[in-house]
Structure 1
Amino acid sequence: MLHLLVIGASQGIGLETVKTALAAGHRVRAFARSAERISLSDENLERFTGNAVNASDIAAALEGVDAVVQALGVPVRDLLGPVRLFSDATNVLVPAMEKAGVRRLVAVTGFGAGDSREAMGTLQRLPFRLVFGRAYDDKDVQEMRIRKSDLDWTLVRPGILTNGAATDRFQVLDEPSSWRNGMIARADVAKFAVQQVEGGSYVRRAVVLVG
């Protein structure tokens, strides 16, 4: 049994990661500003209300955990303005983990972040940049900060996210020449994240996930 901290745990991939980790028998500290709204019931679940850019909240949340899954998201309405959540939260998390001696970090970003942007075709890249450009510029900074750390990190870049149950048929594209976009269930991304903290083979590597 591991003790996991999931940041961004109230919805999306974060919530699916909480569910997957609990189903696997792990203890989970579910960190979110609205953690009290998480409607799951499990003796191994701890709801932790906090702000991902608050250093005191993050330091407290790291106490006693073995690994961290960072699965932050921003509302669609915030994509039209400046986006700083991903980099600001990571600039708090990374030194806090180093200080606390928590080494394992699985960070969910997205296809199009970092060097995976080069794998996008021109027709896909233009509308992508128009809608998600500010967020992914910030994810670039997030990934760069993680890469510069001494942590045992994995960068997880899912393609187009869908709802529904895990399929277990997702593909892990670990070579830049194989990177491409594609659809994948949030539950499958969560399953991969939990597999990685359990003893994954992609430490200090970036991968693209598609269905």
Structure 2
Amino acid sequence: MAHVLVIGASKGIGLATVKRALACGHRVRALARSAGQIRLRHEALEKVPGDALKADDIAAALDGIDVVIQALGVRPGHNMIFGPITLFSRATQILVPAMEAAAVKRLIAVTGFGAGDSKASINCLQRIPFRLVLGQAYDDKTLQEQMIKESNLDWTIVRPVVLTPGPRSGRTRVLVEPESWRNGLISRNDVADFLVKQIEDDSLLHQAPVIAY
């Protein structure tokens, strides 16, 4: 079992990943500015208040860690449309050299369908609304992906499609080849399950699959 650092652990995919990793027997260090508000207790859980944009917080959080899961998110609203959004690239600019300095090699990072080269797979009808609502965030996720790909880390980039509530379904499809990439739906709990499976599975090293139903 691994000692896992989850960055962005207080809500959404991050919180679901914390819960799933604990259920699978891993030790988890949950980093978030509001980590103290995580309503979860477990002997293998360490809640660490910290900021993904502060180098000292990240360096301290990496101590003794085997695997990092980066699951950052921004709140929907005005800023997503009018931006600028720089959270993903700025946090990654701090995380990558910190991991390299700490000799923590394994990084599993969540971006999304529409980031990087998956942008070309958005169909024509969806392209304009996607750009209007999510363009700022996904431009920054594209920078995030580029930084990760240029690193010396053992990385896997995970690109979920539209997120939904709901339990794990076991129906996740892993779309590796660009010709198979498409939009769709997937629950946060299925994304979390997929992320946790990557902790002990290196079959997708240096790949950026889209995951969907």
Q: What is the TM-score normalised by the length of structure 1? A: 0.99
User: Deviation string for 1:56-104 (max 9, x for gaps)?
Assistant: 0000000000000000000113313200000000000000000000000
Aligned partner (choices 176, 181, 184) of residue 178 of structure 2: 176
Total equivalences in the alignment = 211
Q: Which moved more, 1:195-204 or 1:41-50?
A: 195-204
Partners of 1:81 and 1:174 in 2: CA distance? 30
Match of 2:64 in 1: 64
Counterpart residue type for residue 42 of structure 2: D
Match of 1:52 in 2: 52
Partners of 2:60 and 2:84 in 1: CA distance? 28
Offset at residue 200 of structure 1 (A): 3.4
The answer to whether residue 180 in structure 2 is matched with residue 201 in structure 1 is: no
Partners of 1:22 and 1:197 in 2: CA distance? 12
The answer to whether residue 102 in structure 2 is matched with residue 106 in structure 1 is: no
Partners of 1:47 and 1:167 in 2: CA distance? 28
Equivalent residues in 2 for 1:18-167 (5 A)? 18-77=18-77, 78-79=79-80, 80-167=82-169
Gaps of at least 5 residues in structure 1 are none
Offset at residue 182 of structure 1 (A): 0.8
Counterpart residue type for residue 135 of structure 2: G
Any idea what SS the aligned residue of 1:206 has?
A: coil
Runs of 4+ in structure 1 displaced over 3 angstroms? none
Partners of 1:132 and 1:14 in 2: CA distance? 20
Partners of 2:113 and 2:201 in 1: CA distance? 23
Match of 1:13 in 2: 13
Partners of 2:125 and 2:171 in 1: CA distance? 27
Any idea what SS the aligned residue of 1:205 has?
A: coil
Partners of 1:81 and 1:138 in 2: CA distance? 10
Offset at residue 41 of structure 1 (A): 1.1
Partners of 2:7 and 2:164 in 1: CA distance? 20
Gaps of at least 5 residues in structure 2 are none
Counterpart residue type for residue 100 of structure 1: A
Any idea what SS the aligned residue of 2:208 has?
A: strand
